[in-house]
């Protein structure tokens, strides 16, 4: 029986995945920008040039309030590649379980395992076109014996659908930031917008400008990928999910639960199935594009999943995020966010925002500037907040009035009811997740995981 592809896949997008005929299954491609925030033209950034990602948005659905489950790559990837929160699977500490053979608990599996079982060829793409490569990054905090079948979609059997990821390093700090500065068109540091918690300093402006350069490098790589898909004749039969693995790699972004650390772009393009140029403002979490990928592949979403399909599900009221140990820096922070409000709970409030982290010390020159200006008394009141020796246990922000999250309303009488409601939501979630981060790693484990330095609980 011939199935009308457009109407059928619209039904599949509403959750009727069991009806999806094998011959109509689309290819599915995740394009992942390492440490990519929402500094894209299609997200309203006034200075960046991102025509290729803007094209995806114009031809698909753009989610304005998408958040990763963690503000650092390994914990976040251990979440969205599994469809479950990392604090529930014991994969919450950054770069953990690299030496102990830790396996996911019962019911938790990589999405590639589910795709492979359903007949998909799975690939972590490396060679895309001359001069453009994927990194094949996985960075899972658990043992994964064979996460992918190959390194390119052209390695699949004739007629076989593929599920693939392309991991681009830009705009992650390191070689990509150096490569970004070799482009012809570079960002003028004098023109980059600075949040109020950054001092207006040449070093700060240069770091932010370099991040923008890296975003534009990523856009070029995305453009090459789209061209290759088109040349191979598979662009319009491939669902593309374009997103970041966590927020931007700048101070108060990556490793923190403020929006720059967890808010990411999410664009889904599926010609003939999804509307062009649609904008969604309801909060979604990275686990949801995992669930939606299963739906498009005709795989039932497991009952254990914390993710839900992006299309056809009841919109979420709130999403949750979590920060745990990052390298040698022990911490435990949890947050709940709606489209407008966010509550952050610091479980170790006696520690400063700037407790030592070797990666941040070496990679974030803005931090050095803050330390120097703080010592000279040259920071304003907003900038001084980040240099405090302790943190409040509760932070509460109205993102509509205060998008930079600098005016803590936790003690505001006007917001008392909201603070109570969001606290209850967070507590219920932690109970439902059986939060593994509630018990910190032992000193023995810390020293094994982080032999470079003596780690203090």
Q: What is the mean pLDDT of each run of 10 residues along the chain (457 residues)?
A: 38 40 82 98 98 98 98 98 98 95 97 98 96 96 97 97 98 96 96 98 98 98 98 97 98 98 98 98 98 98 98 98 96 98 98 95 97 98 97 98 98 98 98 97 86 53
Model pLDDT for residues 14-64, shown as the tens digit of each residue: 333 333 445 579 999 999 999 999 999 999 999 999 999 999 999 999 999
3-state secondary structure (DSSP) of residue 196:
coil
pLDDT, tens digit (0-9, with 9 covering 90-100), for 193-240: 999 999 999 999 999 999 999 999 999 999 999 999 999 999 999 999
331: which DSSP letter? Answer: -
If one counts every other C-beta atom within 10 angstroms of the C-beta of residue 192, the result is 19
For residue 171, cis peptide bond before it (omega within 30 degrees of 0): yes
3-state secondary structure of 261: helix
End-to-end CA distance of the chain: 63
What are the residue ranges spanned by the domains of the chain? 5-316, 333-449
Which CATH fold topology does 5-316 show? Alkaline Phosphatase, subunit A (3.40.720)
Bridge-based pairing state of the strands 394-398 and 319-323: unpaired
CA gap 109, 82 in Å, rounded: 6
Do 57 and 42 form a contact (C-beta atoms < 8 A)? yes
Q: Tokens 């909060």 label which residue?
A: 283
Q: What is the pLDDT of residue 452?
A: 63
The per-residue pLDDT for 449 is 83
Q: Which residue has the tokens 């390093």?
A: 169
CA 74 to chain CA centroid, Å, is 10
DSSP of 158-185:
TT--EEEEEEE-TTSSSHHHHHHTTSSS
* pLDDT score at 7: 42
């Amino acid at each position: 029986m011939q199935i009308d592809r457009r109407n059928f896949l619209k039904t599949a997008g509403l959750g009727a995945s069991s009806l999806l005929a094998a011959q109509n299954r689309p290819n599915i491609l995740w394009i992942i920008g390492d440490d990519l925030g929402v500094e894209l033209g299609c997200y309203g950034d006034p200075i960046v040039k991102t025509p290729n990602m803007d094209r995806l948005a114009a031809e698909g659905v753009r989610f304005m309030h998408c958040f990763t489950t963690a503000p650092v790559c390994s914990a976040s990837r251990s979440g969205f590649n599994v469809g479950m929160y990392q604090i529930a699977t014991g994969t919450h500490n950054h770069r953990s379980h690299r030496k102990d053979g830790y396996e996911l608990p019962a019911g938790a599996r990589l999405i590639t395992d589910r795709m492979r079982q359903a007949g998909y060829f799975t690939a972590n793409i490396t060679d895309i076109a001359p001069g453009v490569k994927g990194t094949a990054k996985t960075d899972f905090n658990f043992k994964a014996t064979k996460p992918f079948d190959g390194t390119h979609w052209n390695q699949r059997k004739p007629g076989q659908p593929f599920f693939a990821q392309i991991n681009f390093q830009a705009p992650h700090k390191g070689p990509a930031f150096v490569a970004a500065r070799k482009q012809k068109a570079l960002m003028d540091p004098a023109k980059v917008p600075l949040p109020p918690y950054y001092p207006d300093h040449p070093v700060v402006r240069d770091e932010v400008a370099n991040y923008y350069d890296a975003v534009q490098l990523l856009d070029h790589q995305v453009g090459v990928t789209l061209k290759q898909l088109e040349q191979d004749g598979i662009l319009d039969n491939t669902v593309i999910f374009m997103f970041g693995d966590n927020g931007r790699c700048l101070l108060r972004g990556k490793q923190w639960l403020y929006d720059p650390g967890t808010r990411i772009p999410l664009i889904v393009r599926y010609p003939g199935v999804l509307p062009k140029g649609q904008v969604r403002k309801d909060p979604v979490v990275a686990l949801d594009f995992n669930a939606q990928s299963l739906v498009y592949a005709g795989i039932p979403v497991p009952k254990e999943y914390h993710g839900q399909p992006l299309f056809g599900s009841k919109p979420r009221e709130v999403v949750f995020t979590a920060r745990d140990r990052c390298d040698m820096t022990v911490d435990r922070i949890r947050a709940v966010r709606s489209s407008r409000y966010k509550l952050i709970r610091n479980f170790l409030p006696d520690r400063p925002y700037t407790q030592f982290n070797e990666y941040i010390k070496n990679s974030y020159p803005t931090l050095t500037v803050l330390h120097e200006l703080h010592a000279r008394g040259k920071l304003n009141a907003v900038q001084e907040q980040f240099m405090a020796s302790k943190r409040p246990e509760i932070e509460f922000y109205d993102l509509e009035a205060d998008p930079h999250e600098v005016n803590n309303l936790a003690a505001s009488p006007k917001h008392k009811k909201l603070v109570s409601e969001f606290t209850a939501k967070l507590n219920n979630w932690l109970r439902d997740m059986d939060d593994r981060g509630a018990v910190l790693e032992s000193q023995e484990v810390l020293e094994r995981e982080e032999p470079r330095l003596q780690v203090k609980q």
